[in-house]
Structure 1
Amino acid sequence: MADFLLVHGAGFGAWCWPWLTEALAGYGHSARAIDLPRGPGISLSDQARAICDSLTGPTLLVGHSAGGFPITAAAETDPAKIQALIWLCAYIPANGSSVASRRRSQSEQPLRPALRIDRATGSYSFAPESLTPLFFHDCPPEAQALAARHMAHESIAPQETPIRLTPRSRNLPRFAITCENDRAIPAAFQHTMAGAVPPDHRFSLACGHAPFFARPKETAALLHRITALIP
């Protein structure tokens, strides 16, 4: 069975994955989640290194939302233990792009009104009143309450850092799971980014931006299906 490392998006953390971890265990898979480093002076390279340092054997990396860039940066840093990259309603890098440049290239900007920038600390967060409408509108009340307690400030620098893609990441099996009712990253843009992976490596879920809360069993079923496509 497979070993998954689950990597959160902006503002999220390891706290968001337990339901999916449990669902994956039902298929016999193991799944772990980490908190990416955040705070003053943190770089995309620091986040990539934290991922690489967490790998103990062949692992499938799942990156949610902005976590799509750190998992790719980890593959560019050291792909030896990485079996596949799986972008879960995530920003999928293009060569020379950053999370921020990807977001700015969207025709719709649902996140912009919710952003709260703190220039003094080089961080940003999302307005508390925006959390449920943007991210958790289709999630159970207990998940909404958990998110209200734990959503955190995020470092700006890693998301403004462009990434150069080489065969180190491009030669790995790559998969995209889009979320069709996502209010944070428009589904149409997710499909555009997913064009970077082979057609038979593209999947979708009928939910919003937090599939690990809204559709944990369906998400686990897709991830289990993906394991059969990895050589």
Structure 2
Amino acid sequence: MADFLLIHGSCHGAWCWRDVIPALEALGHTARAIDLPGHGDDPTPLAEVTLEGSRDAILAASTPNTIVLGHSWGGYPISAAGEAAPEAMRALVYLCAYVPISGLSMVDMRKRAKRQPLMPAVRRSEDRISFTFDPDMAPELFYHDCPEAAVAYAMPRLTPQAIAPQTTPLTVTDRLAGVAKYYIRCTEDHAIPPEYQSEMVRDWPGDHVFSLPTSHSPFFSDPAGLAALLDRIAKTDVGASRRGKAD
């Protein structure tokens, strides 16, 4: 069985994985979630949050046997972790997440999409250090197919997102290329256009790209389905690893 480390996206925290962790455990896996710097219970001031700090938090929680999943913006810090220490993880999973192009920041990657559904909801702080999402728009962007109870749970827990780590370019090399990577595209996503998710992984092997018919938040709308897909990825990755050792 696999060990999963679950990394949240913008304005979220470890709390968003509350339904996925027991679903993975029911399938025999171990699963953990952490708060990135400046989120949840982490006390880092927003002005001090960096991409490097987020990377290091992931590496501190990962082991060579860990499958690290990043949701949305979380694709960037997990990529930074894979670039810095590819030996510190078993594989990376991008859940409707940004996949970096070397030299570009997450904001640069977002701007490459032909549609920008998130931007009307972004509210920058007066000091320009962070942003939040308009609470009247967030449910439709992130949770349109989620149970009402899950939306009520999530909304008061959303926190400001530091801007600096998302405007920091990331250089990736063959070090990251050597890490096994999988992508889960959410076909009903109202935050990151599904067609852009496909574009970011158009050159990936077909058996490393999967789809879920959900919103941007399958951890609430279909935690069992997400866990089943992660179980499938874990079994696929084990098979690939064994074949690689045999070769």
The TM-score normalised by the length of structure 1 is 0.97
Q: Which amino acid aligns with 1:20?
A: V
Say what the alpha-carbon RMSD is for the aligned residues. Answer: 1.1
Aligned residue for 2:43?
A: none
Aligned residue for 2:55?
A: 48
Aligned residue for 2:149?
A: 142
Aligned residue for 2:119?
A: 112
Aligned residue for 1:28?
A: 28
Quote how far apart the aligned CAs of 1:166 are. 1.2
CA distance in 2, matches of 1:42, 1:151: 17
Aligned counterparts, 1:85-164, within 5 A: 85-120=92-127, 122-164=129-171
Q: Which runs of 5+ in 1 are unaligned?
A: none
CA distance in 2, matches of 1:57, 1:165: 20
CA distance in 1, matches of 2:64, 2:107: 31
CA distance in 2, matches of 1:4, 1:196: 25
What percent of counterpart residues are identical?
44
CA distance in 2, matches of 1:196, 1:81: 25
Q: In the alignment, is the contact (CA less than 8 A) between 1:40 and 1:121 conserved in 2?
A: no
Q: 1:174 to 1:57 in 2, by over 3 A?
A: closer
CA distance in 1, matches of 2:21, 2:60: 20
Moved over 2 A (4+): none
Q: In the alignment, is the contact (CA less than 8 A) between 1:135 and 1:184 conserved in 2?
A: yes
Quote how far apart the aligned CAs of 1:197 are. 2.4
CA distance in 2, matches of 1:207, 1:41: 34
Aligned counterparts, 1:1-231, within 5 A: 1-38=1-38, 39-120=46-127, 122-230=129-237, 231=241
CA distance in 1, matches of 2:28, 2:218: 20
Greater Cα offset, 94-103 or 42-51:
94-103
Q: Which runs of 5+ in 2 are unaligned?
A: 39-45, 242-247
Cα deviation code 1:1-51 (max 9, x no counterpart)? 100000000011100001111111111001100000021121100000011
